[in-house]
Structure 1
Amino acid sequence: MNFEPVQAPPFTRLDAWFRSPLGEEVVRLETESVRRLLANTFGYYLIQVGATNSFGEALASSRIRHRIQVPIEPSDALEPASIVGLPDQLPLSSDSIDAVLLPHTLDFSANPKAVLGEVERVLIPEGRVVVVGFNALSAWGLRRVLWRSPGRMPWCGRFFLAPRVEGWLVELGFDIEVREALVFCPPIGSLRGRRCARMERLGKRFWPMLGAVYVIRAVKRVATLTPIKPVRATPSRLLAGRAVRPTTRGTGHA
């Protein structure tokens, strides 16, 4: 009787891929971008949901006082400041978090829109979210389509278009502040060297929509509602000592 080997959870395998030669170079570029986008973000609480071990430098460089990881699965390698929870059911109070980092969390979640909905719930007004994801419209996205590798990282993830993710954020009440494109070299060999460095410079300038990775920063906006004063009922006028008979016209009632 044959049994298929049980695979580790996707975020655990993603962390392992980030330790490979190609994954290390990808996460290096992503960390630089996340560090830039978090540089001017302040507050008390920053949480990272999903992949945990590879973005420690980006979190450590943040000016936000408390940095908390929210992994999907418990592990002996977790940092002390960790809370295990599902990305679409965060064990956090509403309007309590200043910033959220989603490093490829949408790529490996069953319901990415629900994840963003939870992020909107836990963020304070004017709180910020930084989303990192693989771009479907890229050489990496083409590699995923042409040579499907079930279970193999990162090709088993769901690659989205950056405008689609931005559309979800706007629907939830976010304003898009920044979008950066990274990793313009194809997933062959190393991403280091003069050739890839030149492709990074040219890609960011001339064809940013083709980067293999997008990084989006958005801010949660809360609409200011102007309360409408209730209309006071006008007392019945008296004509010659008699009350005016009320009319039913326009009330919708017979």
Structure 2
Amino acid sequence: MANDMTDCPDHRRPASIAPLDAWYGSTLGRELADQEARCLERMLRDTFGYYLLQVGGGTALSEAIQVSRVRRRILLLPTAAPYSLGLQTVAVPERLPIAADSVDLVVLPHTLEFADDARQVLREAERVLIPEGRLVVFGFNALSLWGLWRLVRRGQGGLPWCGRFLTSFRICDWLSLLGFNIELQETMMFRPPWRRALLQQFSFLDTLGRRFWPVFGGVYALRAVKRVSTLTPLRTSWKSRRPVLAAGAVEPTTRETATRSVGLGKTAEGTRV
């Protein structure tokens, strides 16, 4: 069994992002960190911009983020950390101290599982992203062997099993309501979350899982784009309305006046004949 007895954070505190750095140091955590880093590199390959905001997650994905084309990186943590990953900010994910429509890319590495309000975190991510900005979410899948093991370990505490695992289907539904479109989706870690399962003879489970039952991976990754509907303004009509006569009749146009004149001429001529 993996060494994952790190205490779970108290969700009653304002700073409710779980510091996963200690758990990433375990055997199981190192394997997951390696797979997530490779996945993040693929998801950031064609992204660029001025600002990248990482909410939680610590240093596990730092190398993958360094290869991105985003110029400046902001790391938001619940408490100050001794390491540096660009500009470091201490805040809670439900109230990001970031201006609206100012960030090109937001990365949430297992932030939703340990937040007090996961939907509010997504709302904040949508708020700070610019139109056509990207959001990357890593999460533990409730519909997996990892989710089943969490049910067994939940009463014992320890990271990451004390978190609230969600499914990728629910995350996609929430993102759709916020106006996001899902661009990429990957799953990983199809082996049971045990140290022995990481041996080479069990690697076939990852191969079979990716091919036959991808929705049951222990961890999912999503990349979504913020869509903003553009409204085409109606052009103001500068054509003046025809004046209304005192009697309430509409004043005839020039064409109507000419037609009436011709009609009267024919009538007069017929009378003279």
Instruction: Provide the TM-score with structure 1 as the length reference.
Output: 0.86
Normalised to the residue count of structure 2, the TM-score between the two structures is 0.80
Indicate the SS of the match to 1:223. Answer: coil
Q: Deviations over 1:36-87 (max 9, x none)?
A: 1111111111111012121111111212111221112123334452111211
Tell me if structure 2 keeps the 8 A contact 1:27–1:54. Answer: yes
Q: Secondary structure at the match of 1:226?
A: coil
Q: In structure 2, what residue type is equivalent to 1:237?
A: V
TM-superposed CA distance for 1:35, in Å, is 1.1
- Offset at 1:201? 1.4
Task: Determine if the alignment matches structure 1 residue 77 to structure 2 residue 83.
Answer: yes
Match of 1:101 in 2: 107
1:144-188 C-alpha deviation (Å, 9 max, x unpaired): 113323431111001101010011111101000011010000011
Structure 1 unmatched ranges of 5 or more: 245-254
CA distance in 2, matches of 1:28, 1:151: 24
Q: Which is helix-richer, 1 or 2?
A: 2
Output the CA distance in 2 between the equivalents of 1:131 and 1:52. Answer: 15
Q: Compared with structure 1, are the counterparts of its residues 57 and 167 closer, same or farther at alpha carbon in structure 2 (3 Å cutoff)?
A: same
Match in the other structure for 1:40:
46
Using the alignment, how far apart are the partners of 2:181 and 2:106 within structure 1?
A: 15
**Residues 73 and 86 in structure 2, CA contact (< 8 A), matched pair in contact too:** no
Which residue of structure 2 lines up, in the alignment, with residue 224 of structure 1? 230
The amino acid that maps onto 1:219 is V
Q: Counterpart of 2:73 in structure 1: which amino acid? A: R
Structure 2 residue 59 is matched with structure 1 residue 53: yes
1:98 and 1:123 in contact (8 A); partners too: yes
5+ long unaligned stretches in structure 2 = 1-6, 250-273
Identical positions, percent: 44
1:207 to 204, 208, 213: 213
Aligned partner (choices 152, 155, 159) of residue 149 of structure 1: 155
Superposed CA RMSD: 2.2
Corresponding position of 2:202: 196
Cα pair 1:139 1:186 within 8 Å, conserved = yes
